[in-house]
């Protein structure tokens, strides 16, 4: 899914403004569902075969031949729909102490680019996400990440998230936990 060799015109091929607008709205709405803790509706935006992946990020030298990220390394999320559902189930418990009083989530999504793929109803979507979490009196944590999604139109005509790779900017998570979806 490299951009190399693609001209702006080729990128735009098969991607009209209406589609870009629709996908932007899909991502903005997803962000608001997360901010409002509407997790069941959020899960409903996922394709059944979704892969939701936030790998651990390592600081390695440029000369290092090892992959920058790898499926065999530890990750924050390397989830299918079953795992995501388990996480949501925990967040919904009245004894989820870290969520009560609620974490005040803020998801800002930007720099959205849409690319066509070989498959007519699937698009690669790049975006940036800024997540702020405020808790209790003065706790404030910032997460920033680059995302690469695969968005698919299913048989009902609805857009679904089929893949998400979240490249966190921090190698050492500057927070006590990651009780947020990005």
Partner 1 sequence: MSAPFAKGPAAPADLPRDEAPAPAPGPGPLDEAAVRAMVDSEQGWIDRRIFWDPQVYALEMERTFARCWIFVAHDSQIPEVGDFLTTYVGEDAVIVARARDRQVHAFINSCSHRGNRVCFAEAGSARRFTCNFHGWSYALDGSLSGVTAEELYKDNPTFDRSKLGLHKARVESHGGMHFACFDPEAPSLADYLGEFRWYLDVLLDNDEGGIEFVDGNIKSRLKCNWKFPAEDFVGDAYHATWTHSSALQALFGNIPTMKADRSFQVNANGHGWDFGLDFISNAATLCEPEIVEYLRENEVRFAERLGKMRSRMVGSLSSATVFPNLSFLAGHNTFRTWNPKGPAETELHTWVFLNRNAPDSLKEKYRRGVMLTFSPAGIFEMDDGENFEHCTASNAGVVTRRRKLHTGLGLGSEVEHPELKGNVHRNQVNEANHRAFYQRWTDLMTAPNWADVPVR
For binding to partner 1 (CB under 8 A), which residues are involved? 54, 56, 58-61, 64, 66, 70, 72-79, 83, 86-87, 89-98, 171-179
Residue 92 C-beta: closest distance to partner 1, Å: 8
Q: Are strands 122-135 and 75-79 parallel, antiparallel or unpaired?
A: unpaired
Cβ proximity to partner 1, 28 vs 76, nearer residue: 76
Distance from C-alpha of 49 to C-alpha of 37, rounded to nearest angstrom: 23
Minimum CB distance to partner 1 smaller for 73 or for 104: 73
Least distance in Å: CB of 28 to partner 1?
24
Structure tokens at 153: 């139109």
CB of 25 to partner 1, least distance (A): 28
CB of 144 to partner 1, least distance (A): 16
Name the residue nearer to partner 1 (CB basis): 56 or 116.
Answer: 56
Rounded to whole angstroms, the Cα distance separating 45 from 59 reads 33
Closest among 170, 164, 155 to 182, alpha carbons compared: 164
Where residue 130 falls (left for φ over 0; alpha for ψ -120 to 50; beta otherwise) is beta
């Amino acid at each position: 899914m490299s951009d190399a060799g693609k001209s702006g015109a080729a990128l735009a091929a098969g991607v009209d403004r209406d589609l870009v607008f629709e996908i932007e709205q899909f991502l903005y709405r997803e962000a608001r569902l997360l901010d409002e803790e509407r997790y069941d509706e959020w899960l409903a935006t996922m394709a059944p075969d979704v892969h939701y992946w936030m790998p651990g990020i390592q600081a390695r030298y440029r000369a290092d031949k090892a992959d920058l990220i790898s499926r065999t390394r530890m990750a924050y999320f390397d989830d299918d729909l079953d795992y995501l559902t388990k996480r949501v189930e925990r967040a919904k418990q009245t004894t989820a102490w870290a969520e009560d009083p609620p974490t005040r989530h803020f998801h800002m999504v930007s720099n959205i680019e849409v690319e066509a793929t070989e498959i007519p109803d699937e698009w690669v979507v790049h975006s940036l996400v800024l997540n702020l979490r405020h808790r209790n009196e003065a706790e404030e944590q910032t997460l920033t990440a680059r995302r690469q999604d695969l968005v698919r139109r299913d048989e009902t005509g609805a857009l679904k998230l089929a893949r998400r790779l979240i490249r966190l900017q921090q190698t050492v998570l500057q927070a006590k936990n990651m009780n947020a979806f990005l």
